[in-house]
Amino acid sequence: MSNGTPYFLPAEKAQGLANYPHARFAPTAPHRTLYISGTSSRRGDGTWDGVTEHADGSWTLDIEEQTAAVLRNIEAIIQGATNGTGGLQNIVDATVFMIDLPQNYSGMNEEWNKVWPDRANAPARTTIGVKELPNPRLLVEIKCTVAV
């Protein structure tokens, strides 16, 4: 199942910095729309991917590891909600919320582009810099709309 049809502006117009179309036409019936709540890199045991805890109580955060984990968590949600018939390829639109855009944007894009190496297959996307997320260990959270 496809996530619809991409639309791209002509090459002489501004292009995205990562792999995503300017817009995407969502598939029509008989598809259903699944709205995925903001998802982080949190694991089932309450820890986070992309967080290295240190003995002194501080931690080191890795945007690439967190982004990859967020996308894995989203895929698990989609697969669970569709009894295994859907996946990341069904995402029509994504909103990325990120701490410290200048520091983390390129690392997030690296992981994004691994999942969607061809921008014609990528969902439409908006990235928003935010002051904070629900836990100070989080650098990125993604919410998305899926056509299944």
Q: How many CB atoms sit inside 10 A of residue 51's CB?
A: 20
Which residues share a beta bridge with 23?
7
What 3-state class would DSSP assign to 90?
helix
Nearest Cα to Cα of residue 49 among 76, 87, 80:
76
Report the CATH number at residue 67: 3.30.1330.40
Please tell me the least confidently modeled range out of 26-30, 55-59, 105-109, 114-118. Answer: 26-30
Asked if the model's pLDDT at residue 1 lies above 60, the reply is no
For 74-119, what is each residue's pLDDT tens digit? Answer: 999 988 988 899 999 999 999 999 999 999 999 999 999 999 999 9
- Number of structural domains the chain divides into: 1
Whole-model pTM?
0.85
Q: 136: domain range?
A: 5-147
Give the pLDDT band (50/70/90) at residue 23.
low
